Amino acid sequence: MSAESLIAEFGVEPGTGDRIPVVLIMLEQGALDNYVGYMTKKALVAYIHNLVFGFNDAIDVNCGLSLGGTFDTTINAYPYYPDLNYKLLASYGTLGEPEIEEIERTELVQILLNNDAEVKYPIHEIISAEWSGDAYDAEMGIISPQPDITLGEEFKTVRSSIPCYGLVQVKYTTIVHRYPLEITPRLNTDYNKYTSVVFAVYDGGLVWLQTEAPPGAEETEGDCFSGDTVDFGPDDDDKKPPTGEDADMVIRIDYCTGRELERYLT
């Protein structure tokens, strides 16, 4: 089975094709919750408890998908200008309305002789910039007083007033637009079930991002609650994971809830 092609088409106004694209926005997919796609020690102990004592209690395993296999994620857009006129589109899935927030970040950056240092996100305003130790010139002499730190010419850089070496702790604010994105699994395909290309279009350029699904989501049958197979055989304690070879019994458990679906002797 083949997955549909992921194609994004866009055009420009006549006579503007010779313009050099300019990056004016940064895209980022929101982080998954801790332990998404992984079984915690607590959940593993609970599963073994069910297995040993014959219980069928639910096990809390976060697979990152909703009932029915829907993947809900967030696309964070960081415009370099707060009033940047842009449009966010997705090749697959449904984008919601954004929540706009000004957040504060602190980073430790290294100043080199080229004067500039780059932070992770576009800077809206520098709150403070403090040298972490001394600033040094090209001959490694200590500079006193320490150089001033200001916003650089690029949107993600800070600049020293004179060329030097040193570390600076920068506290700054950045503007983020958080877009909810809901992705339902593609049917009748063995891969790219949750892949979507999100792109921001604005006057002067285009920036794109390919989404990533939770670990193991692409291997499910389009439903997080479809279950998985765990094999147990003699002397399997030292095998990680069990190979299933020469197994006496096969037990199928629900990936998300941990409930036993079936068991049978081989």
Question: Greater confidence, 205 or 261?
Answer: 205
The predicted-structure confidence for 211-258, as pLDDT tens digits, reads as follows 988 877 776 554 444 334 333 334 444 444 444 555 566 777 665 555
Residue-wise DSSP of 169-206: EEEEEEEEEEEEEEEPPPSS-SS-SS--EEEEEETTEE
Give the residue, 213 or 104, on which the prediction is more confident: 104
CA gap 124, 171 in Å, rounded: 11
d(C-alpha 203, C-alpha 76), whole Å: 20
Closest CA to 155 of 128, 119, 130: 119
d(CA 218, CA 220): 6
DSSP string, 4-48: PP--------TT-TTSPP---EEEEEPPPPTTTTS--HHHHHHHH
Choosing among 3.40.390, 3.40.50, 2.30.30, 2.60.40, the CATH entry for 101-175 is: 2.60.40
Q: Domain spans of the chain? A: 25-93+184-225, 101-175
Give which of 223, 186, 180 is closest to 68, Cα–Cα: 223
pLDDT(87) > 80: yes
CB-based contact 199:8 (threshold 8 Å): yes
Q: Which pLDDT belongs to residue 30?
A: 92
Rounded to 5 degrees, φ, ψ at 44 are -65, -45
Residues in the chain: 266
pLDDT-based confidence at residue 18 (cuts at 50, 70, 90)? low
What is the C-alpha separation between 75 and 89, in angstroms, rounded? 11
Residue range 198-206: average pLDDT?
A: 92
Predicted local confidence at residue 70, as pLDDT: 85
Higher pLDDT, 11 or 247: 247
How far apart CA 59 and CA 68 sit, in angstroms, is 18
3-state SS assignment for residue 71: strand
**pLDDT-based confidence at 191, cuts 50/70/90?**
confident
133-154 mean pLDDT = 92
pLDDT at residue 7, rounded to an integer? 46
- Could you tell me what percent of the chain has a pLDDT over 70? 65
Question: Which of helix, strand or coil describes residue 75?
Answer: strand
pLDDT value of position 1: 37
Q: Using alpha carbons, select from 191, 259, 188 the residue that is nearest to residue 227.
A: 259
In contact, 241 and 229? CB cutoff 8 Å: no
pLDDT at 123: 95
Q: How far apart are CA 160 and CA 112, in angstroms?
A: 9
Q: Which pLDDT score is estimated for 179?
A: 97
pTM recorded for the entire structure:
0.70
pLDDT of residue 47: 67
Region 147-153: mean pLDDT is 91
Q: Which helix (H) or strand (E) holds 167?
A: strand 166-183
9, pLDDT greater than 60:
no
